[in-house]
Chain A
Amino acid sequence: MLRATLKSVLSRKLRLVLSGLAVVLGVMFVSGAFVLTDTLGRSFDSLFAGVYAGTDVAVTAKPAVAGVDSGERPTNLPADLVAKVRSVPGVATATGVAQADGARVIGGNGKVVTTMGAPRLGTNWTGTSDLVQLREGRGPQAADEIAVNAALAKAAGIKVGDRVGVLTLQPKKTFTLVGIFGYSGDRDSIGGSMFVAFTEPVAQELMLGAKGTYSSIDVTAAPGQSPEKVRDAVRAEVGGGYEVKTGKELQAATVDSFRQGLSFFNNILLGFAGVALFVGVFLILNTFSIIVAQRTRELALMRAVGASRRQMIGAVLVEAAAIGLVASVVGLAAGIGVGAGLAYVFGHVGGTDLPLASIGVPAAAVIGAFGVGLVVTLVAALLPALRASRIPPVAALQEAATPDRPLTKITVAGGLMSAAGATVGGYGLSGKAGDSTMWLIMAGVLVSFIGVALLTPVLARPVVSVLGRLFSWSVPGKLGRLNSGRNPRRTAITAAALMVGLALITGVNVILSSVTATLHKQGDTLVKADLIVSGEQMAEMPPTFDPAVLDKMRGIPGVRDVAGEYYDRATLNGQGWGVDVVTDLPAMARMFPLNAKEGSIGPLGPDQLAIDEAHAKILNLHAGSTVTVQLSRGAPHTMTVAAVLAKNDVFNSIMLSPSVVGDLRVPQPSWAYVRVVPGADVAAVRAQIDRLLADSPEVNVTDRSGYIQQQTKQFDAVLMMIQVLLALAILIAVLGIVNTLALSVLERTRELGLLRAIGLRRGQVMRMVTVESVVISVFGALLGLAVGCGLGAAVVRALRSEGITSLALPWSQMGVYLVLAGVVGVVAAVLPAVRAARINVLGAIAHE
């Protein structure tokens, strides 16, 4: 029995290839993801190797504000602490470091140099070391001199001797570049980060905001002293207000955070691989169903000569296992290649020059590949196997015609599953599920997909017949239409596979376009500011501009109101929150219209704040209550609530008095809102503000709709990424169409021969197959668009409480998808159509 099965598999190579291909692609994605993240992970390990080589122990302050990364936003250490640490027994040297994120270099092209998420650090020059090596020039010696690392010099396009503008805690200052440095192992950068080295007082002032302070102290142990021992000694000396760690611990922490990011990335890739495999299940299920149907007589003959039901199931499953096994091997090999290729791309994209570790194949990749490949194939083959076992032996003697089985059962099951999926997903979206929200939504979507897929056969007949009318003007078109309606299950599963990918893309699209529409609507109706100064936020902190610009804007003729907004994180009564400092609360209130629910809106006096309803409720504050506010710098403030603001559709925040600006980490505003007097020339005002912002290249001034466009620009990138990642699922669905058509063509050889004999031209045969293909793919696309709209609408509905009030369907995008589906149908038909056209007429019609 086993031998007969294996022989049958091998004798039908095309079938093997087509059904295996879906598994290959899915497995490739899974193993590729593992290989990629493993390789990148080890590359980062070696990247950070030796970063703390010269540091046995480091001392930092505990962050003043909860939930803030002390590496990038340090709390200052007093200068005398360095001497104190130096005096600890076992300490050889203690060097004060004044280093923080936020040194933004203006490149040769006038634009601020950005990174792919790595910090842009400003630091004091502490000389060369085992790690830091000068490549060119020297270290900075005068207050207007800097050195930068080689990666930054390359990205900015600057060379020694250039005058270079740098944005820091203070607005743009210009320096002379006197040196370029790299790192041991000929590295241009560590983890993609960019470094600007100032002289110590300048670094302290520009990066830490106060002279005579440090962000950390690097300690080397005396010979023979273990870092751990020194760490404990230093910790005992400086007390509990500081964090004292060995270089090893710091290194592990740094690598850990990168690895966490990677594993998140890995999970995203695996999620998309899951979608691809889910679609693959449809393809394999369909292929095996068709094969079983085509082999009815052969299988019945086996039953007639004495094979048991169990053996029939075994025969189909063994075939599936063989295909799964081969596909897993091929998929794993392809995945290693893809992982390596992607690692190369990641290592060399956007100026980051990541020296790649050797390509590794982690056990997870191998286990994942074979597990997924075999399980998916076997699961998909189970139903067809059961069907094969139910073929009665007498079928061997009957005509091969498979009667149409009624669709009642499958439709009822589909209805129930769709309802169950919608219920589970709906409960998840309602936000009552807490931690399992995400899982519930995903399960809901998955079950709904299966439910809709089961409903598709019933939909196939009417939809296909309506769709097909579009092509019925010619005989080949009509024949193609009739063929696609011939086997509703087959058409349905093939179309459903395409539905899954498109539904997800459409769903995301609906959500994003609804958010965009909401923003536009609010911008038009609710925001009264005529001009907005802002920048594109790339990191945790928004970009900033020179506060002097605020005053100068007020002086521009035609300007009525200007409100500036600063941002930072602060601790309020022990909890971390994002807070704003607003320069002119009454002006701000006019921009959005804000209304007081308690107290009154007036200029905020020293240590006063205004707070929106929602935050006030959480913090249990009312007009007149006091709250302790700890900002990034300085002592805690006891602030009084001047007003509680009614809920606003656009702007809800905790707004502090301008008196505390000095205690913000970056005492520069991030946004400004401007209203002009009625009848003033907005364009002229805008041009003048533009000029004022010449030294603040990270921000620009736009009108309302420009601002909203700027905010929604990133949606395009999100959508693009999702489309790229789901492209694989769609590719597999296209393979499914090719597969179905190829098998159908094979099944209809005789008919094709007859058609050719009575005068159907080759071109007409190809057109017939193409119409069938396009009908299937457009049907799938319509399903996908419909389900995607439902999905998106459900999410948008759930987001209503978050202020997403408009539901906008992306008609033009959906139109594009539909047209693309048509194109996909044509492409998928090419091979089967050629095969059909090449059918040997004589061979097809000759009787046995």
Chain B
Amino acid sequence: MSRETRLAETFVNLADTLVADFDVVDLLQDLVEECVALLEVSAAGLLLADERGGMRVLASTSEETRLLELFQLQVHQGPCLECIATGTAVLVPDLAAEAGRWPQFAAEAAQRGFASVHAVPMRLRAYVLGALNLFGTRPGALSEADVRSSQALADVATIGILQQRTIARGEVVAEQLQTALNSRVVIEQAKGILAATGGIGMDAAYRQLRGYARNRNLRLTDTARSVASGVLNPTQVLTGPWR
């Protein structure tokens, strides 16, 4: 399948999800994974600004990526934060060459094996909700087509969070965002329960949880909530490889 065909298919699938009763966190997880499959990058994450001046990682392709995103928040520097602050894409093909801009972040990224970072904003008119962040293990610029595709994927993420294409009230943005952030907490709790029950790592626990939900056509957050509140036995989720 050509890259263009695959990209088109991704958008069709995402559009399908958006009209059905869908789970935001699940959609965003699909999206970061699609980024890695479609674009010349090896990891991806979604960073969201919340109303209280903080930022949260809502999806990432691995714990490693998530930790790097969190690191930016701790040191208050990095291309993703700059992208959110300015509302424009920040493309860094060679992080080592621009280490002077974000010395702590550049060092941490290099230590985790990343050499390039590209951040595209998730925005709705004047609002900047967050950024889609793409990490590469080798230095290199994104092609113009990839930059356009990643912005389109970031726009889908924005629509996904807002759940409505025509949105007027800022209140709805806040309601949806806070609900999504709490879903993320429920998922982390469920991951912990599955990890301890199965003696597995957090990435593996997350895969089991998503696989189980997908297999049964359940919403990821609902499944996580069932595990976290003790309604669903964790061993059931851990039985069988779902993907």
Answer yes or no: are A and B bound together in one complex.
no
